[in-house]
Homo-oligomer: A and B are copies of this chain.
Amino acid sequence: MLQSTVTIEQTANFLKLLGDKTRLTIVGMLKQRECCVCELQEVFDISQPSISQHLRKLKDAGLVKEERRGQWIYYSLNPENELYGLIDPILQHVPDLKDKIEIINKSNPTLRCGC
């Protein structure tokens, strides 16, 4: 694979972006499946605006895409990002996040009634 044309400063900024526990966890979860904000809220002990602000940073860096579907805005990783290829090696060093995905699968916040 060719070396990408990213500057050292861009790479440092990318690492700084992932150098936050919340954002790294979000990215790890999005690697498994897209999530909306209310789903992420199930997993983190911070306020909804705080989650939105982390997502905005990820989006501003082009690492994450958003897509509105009705009431919800779904976030997913953007494989077009020049440094996307770094995500996998990084996540390989991190414990599995399937438990977090389990949590939101079970609580299912986007299904408000079981009728």
The interface-forming segment of A13-21, A49-57, A103-111 is: A13-21
Q: Are A3 and B89 in contact (CB under 8 A)?
A: no
Total A residues in contact with B, Cβ cutoff 8 Å: 33
Copies in the complex: 2
Selected from B5, B19, B28, the residue in CB contact (under 8 A) with A15 is B19
Across the interface, do B20 and A8 meet the contact criterion of CB distance under 8 Å? no
Q: Is the CB of B15 within 8 A of A90?
A: yes
Given contacts A6-B94, A8-B94, A93-B86, contact A19 B28 (CB under 8 A): no
With A8-B21, A8-B25, A28-B8 as given contacts, are A93 and B3 in contact (CB-CB < 8 Å)? yes
Contact, CB under 8 Å: A95 / B15: no
